[in-house]
A and B are shown apart, each in its own frame.
Chain A
């Protein structure tokens, strides 16, 4: 089973992209807002100067002896001076008729009603800002209307706007850069909390299923709560299955032992040969069941222990020697000899129960297939790596099955007739894997099988 989760997208990228994208949009908005506002202000500035100029011209209009005189003040045009030397166009109308000025300056609609009207337009190929206004003069005999149209090019204005645009763009850029830097920092700080949680979960011991107690940000509380609840359930289910294994071992083994002792006792009392034969078959079947149950429970126990490997410092040679001594009576019953060779002491850090179990299964296997009066050699070495080798002088592994024999319930073709569940080598293999090692099955050149457990 792969531990790697199915990854879709990245929280960091998403955060950074959202923040930077937002900053970019805001920077653009800022740029346009500043520029528009500046353009408005600048335009208002030009408009008010034009307005003042037109006002002063209108003020200078007077009726003398029924004749309209417009004594344009010098300041009227002087105030239109700009850094860019904008061109000025004007026209003075009396009752809609051009009196003086530029004949191509139109009078804006609306000006005749005494209102001010502003408009951008074009005169002589130049974009101009134009203002028109009118004033009614009352003479002795008649009323007359004077209208003034004044236009100015917008070179200075566009220069100012260009400058403001440049500054606004700079402002937007600086804002964007700051926001981008800030979003990177904020993202790192946020993701950092997740990383810290990950680290503390990773660093826990294999059996530490206690709830996570360190302070976390509020947003991560649900995650930690779920994690704690998951660990709680896991802890509970683990202790349940441990209990179950112990219970099952007890319940299956004890009645079988009772049945076997009854069968043994009956065998001694029965004299009829065919009945004795039947009872012997029964004892063999009981042995087989007992062994299979034992191995099944061993396997379950090993699976559990391997998942929660607890290493302790042990001397492998002492461990194996104790095992060999325990198995020697069984070997002698089959006229076999167990021989422990190799280094005098091999210190190792691992689970002694698992290792003993694995080696017992390996020796059991050898005892089953070794011919009578032969020697099963158990060798423990520390170099080049920690290895326990069990070799016999039996028929060896069938070469075409050597890769599949360690599978669960897989038995060799030559195993028919021997007692076994097909779990022995699987257990050894699981133990090796749990310790980060491997199990290798080989056939010796001189005949016989050899199983190497590398840790």
Chain B
């Protein structure tokens, strides 16, 4: 009986962490001090340098890093806010809604430009454009499209080459994909025409940039639309076939942002982490990060990026979202 209880007690914590994480890693595990629990949508490989820089500065703090998709992340945080100390996500709208809904802790006196923070609680630290990534093998001898319009022309001209070989986010699953899609739709009608064309070519829908790039690299698809530039750049280094196109008609650039949860038990450590995040500048000596860090002194970022303001709540409205998704489904899913 005693053994049984012991086994049950041993298993209990395991039940508690039964969540299936895409990735999960503990940095500086040997540290005796506090442990920060970070839930993030950023792949560990890209984010690790920032955490390593942090634990090097604060050796007594260990960091548990958990990765999941943006939409899933939003759901988990809302379900159990006390489980996490810091939330890092690329879905600006979901992050802003979390902050607006009161999940974020206010941190005063952080020297960060106003356009890169919201309500002293949500802090942006990267600037990442949505890109078109192509596999060059599919464009052998052809002109590589530079705008969405070019892409539409290309797809229309050679539908047989691209049928089943174009990919983009499934905006119903991905928070970031939804953000990119809504911002694209705001920016230009071209988005809808592109979606219709892609829908006509039996577009493949992905949950995340990583999967899209994997399929792109092995030739399963030839064109991926709205892929995160940062992820693509990492993959492109190893695969010569991949080419990243920053559409020249208009760019959708998002800022990865972080916030401290209101119910955190480690406010000082969490605050220190946020300060560490935004203190990192691109090109600084310890910038080992693969993420394109925000240069808060460079005001061009301010103009290019999606604005951090309450307007981000618009497309999260139930009715609006329903309407947008139904339009999107009409365009993309053509059976």
Chain A residues packing against B (C-beta within 8 Å): 68-78, 80-81, 83-90, 92, 99-102, 124-126
- Chain B binding surface SS class: helix
Give the chain B neighbours of A69 by CB distance below 8 A. Answer: 319, 323
**Structural contact, B320 and A71, CB atoms closer than 8 A:** yes
Chain B positions 9-68 with a Cβ under 8 Å from a chain A Cβ: none
Q: How far is the CA of A126 from the CA of B262 in the complex (A)?
A: 15
- In the complex, residue of chain B having the shortest beta-carbon distance to the beta carbon of A124: B102
Chain B positions 114-133 with a Cβ under 8 Å from a chain A Cβ: 114, 117-120
Q: How far is the CB of A199 from chain B (nearest CB, A)?
A: 65
**Structural contact, B102 and A125, CB atoms closer than 8 A:** yes
Chain B positions 242-293 with a Cβ under 8 Å from a chain A Cβ: none
Residues 294-314 of B, flagged 1 when their CB comes within 8 A of A and 0 if not, give 000000000000010111111
* Given A74-B186, A124-B102, A125-B102; A88-B313 close (CB under 8 Å): yes
Give the chain A neighbours of B114 by CB distance below 8 A. Answer: 83
**Structural contact, B319 and A88, CB atoms closer than 8 A:** no
Determine if B318 is an interface residue (Cβ-Cβ < 8 Å). yes
* Given A74-B186, A87-B119, A88-B100; A99-B318 close (CB under 8 Å): yes
Determine if B237 is an interface residue (Cβ-Cβ < 8 Å). no
**Structural contact, A74 and B118, CB atoms closer than 8 A:** no
Determine if B317 is an interface residue (Cβ-Cβ < 8 Å). yes
8 A–B contacts from the bound complex (CB under 8 Å): A70-B319, A72-B314, A77-B309, A80-B309, A86-B310, A87-B310, A88-B100, A92-B319
**Structural contact, B318 and A78, CB atoms closer than 8 A:** no
- In the complex, residue of chain A having the shortest beta-carbon distance to the beta carbon of B120: A85
Q: How far is the CB of B255 from chain A (nearest CB, A)?
A: 15
Kindly list 4 other residue pairs between chains A and B, CB separation below 8 angstroms, not including A70-B319, A78-B314, A81-B307.
A70-B320, A72-B319, A88-B313, A99-B318
- In the complex, residue of chain A having the shortest beta-carbon distance to the beta carbon of B114: A83
* Given A74-B186, A99-B318, A100-B317; A81-B323 close (CB under 8 Å): no
**Structural contact, B118 and A85, CB atoms closer than 8 A:** yes
* Given A81-B309, A83-B114; A101-B120 close (CB under 8 Å): no
Q: How far is the CA of A86 from the CA of B309 in the complex (A)?
A: 9
Q: How far is the CB of B102 from chain A (nearest CB, A)?
A: 5
Give the chain B neighbours of A84 by CB distance below 8 A. Answer: 119
Give the chain B neighbours of A101 by CB distance below 8 A. Answer: 317-318
Q: How far is the CA of A75 from the CA of B312 in the complex (A)?
A: 10
Question: Top 7 A-B pairs ranked by shortest CB distance?
Answer: A100-B318, A78-B311, A85-B119, A81-B309, A77-B310, A88-B310, A77-B311
Give the chain A neighbours of B323 by CB distance below 8 A. Answer: 69, 71
Partner of B100, one of A81, A87, A99: A87
Partner of B311, one of A74, A83, A102, A125: A74
Give the chain B neighbours of A80 by CB distance below 8 A. Answer: 309-310
Give the chain A neighbours of B186 by CB distance below 8 A. Answer: 74
Residues 73-116 of B, flagged 1 when their CB comes within 8 A of A and 0 if not, give 00000000000000000000000000011100000000000100
- In the complex, residue of chain B having the shortest beta-carbon distance to the beta carbon of A78: B311
**Structural contact, B311 and A81, CB atoms closer than 8 A:** yes
Give the chain A neighbours of B118 by CB distance below 8 A. Answer: 85
**Structural contact, A75 and B311, CB atoms closer than 8 A:** yes
Q: How far is the CB of A80 from chain B (nearest CB, A)?
A: 5
- In the complex, residue of chain B having the shortest beta-carbon distance to the beta carbon of A94: B319
* Given A88-B100, A125-B102; A81-B320 close (CB under 8 Å): no
Q: How far is the CB of B182 from chain A (nearest CB, A)?
A: 9
Give the chain A neighbours of B310 by CB distance below 8 A. Answer: 77-78, 80-81, 86-88
**Structural contact, A72 and B119, CB atoms closer than 8 A:** no
Q: How far is the CB of B309 from chain A (nearest CB, A)?
A: 4
Give the chain B neighbours of A88 by CB distance below 8 A. Answer: 100, 310, 313
Give the chain A neighbours of B102 by CB distance below 8 A. Answer: 87, 124-126
Give the chain A neighbours of B318 by CB distance below 8 A. Answer: 99-101
**Structural contact, A77 and B319, CB atoms closer than 8 A:** no
Q: How far is the CA of A336 from the CA of B148 in the complex (A)?
A: 149
**Structural contact, B119 and A77, CB atoms closer than 8 A:** no
Give the chain A neighbours of B307 by CB distance below 8 A. Answer: 78, 81
Partner of B314, one of A68, A76, A99, A124: A76
Partner of B317, one of A72, A87, A124, A126: A72
Q: How far is the CB of A126 from chain B (nearest CB, A)?
A: 8
Q: How far is the CA of A75 from the CA of B314 in the complex (A)?
A: 9
- In the complex, residue of chain B having the shortest beta-carbon distance to the beta carbon of A101: B317
Give the chain B neighbours of A125 by CB distance below 8 A. Answer: 102
Q: How far is the CB of B314 from chain A (nearest CB, A)?
A: 5
Q: How far is the CA of A88 from the CA of B307 in the complex (A)?
A: 16
**Structural contact, A72 and B320, CB atoms closer than 8 A:** yes
- In the complex, residue of chain B having the shortest beta-carbon distance to the beta carbon of A68: B319
Give the chain B neighbours of A85 by CB distance below 8 A. Answer: 117-120, 309
Give the chain A neighbours of B319 by CB distance below 8 A. Answer: 68-72, 92, 99-100
Chain B positions 186-200 with a Cβ under 8 Å from a chain A Cβ: 186
- In the complex, residue of chain A having the shortest beta-carbon distance to the beta carbon of B122: A85
- In the complex, residue of chain B having the shortest beta-carbon distance to the beta carbon of A61: B319
Q: How far is the CB of A211 from chain B (nearest CB, A)?
A: 78
Q: How far is the CA of A179 from the CA of B114 in the complex (A)?
A: 42
Q: How far is the CA of A76 from the CA of B316 in the complex (A)?
A: 13
Q: How far is the CA of A70 from the CA of B322 in the complex (A)?
A: 10
Q: How far is the CA of A92 from the CA of B186 in the complex (A)?
A: 22
**Structural contact, B320 and A77, CB atoms closer than 8 A:** no
Q: How far is the CA of A100 from the CA of B117 in the complex (A)?
A: 27
Q: How far is the CB of A108 from chain B (nearest CB, A)?
A: 20
Q: How far is the CB of B231 from chain A (nearest CB, A)?
A: 27
**Structural contact, B120 and A77, CB atoms closer than 8 A:** no
Q: How far is the CA of A426 from the CA of B120 in the complex (A)?
A: 97
Q: How far is the CB of A12 from chain B (nearest CB, A)?
A: 52
- In the complex, residue of chain A having the shortest beta-carbon distance to the beta carbon of B312: A77
- In the complex, residue of chain A having the shortest beta-carbon distance to the beta carbon of B100: A87
Which has the most chain B C-beta neighbours within 10 Å: A77, A84, A90? A77
Give the chain B neighbours of A99 by CB distance below 8 A. Answer: 318-319
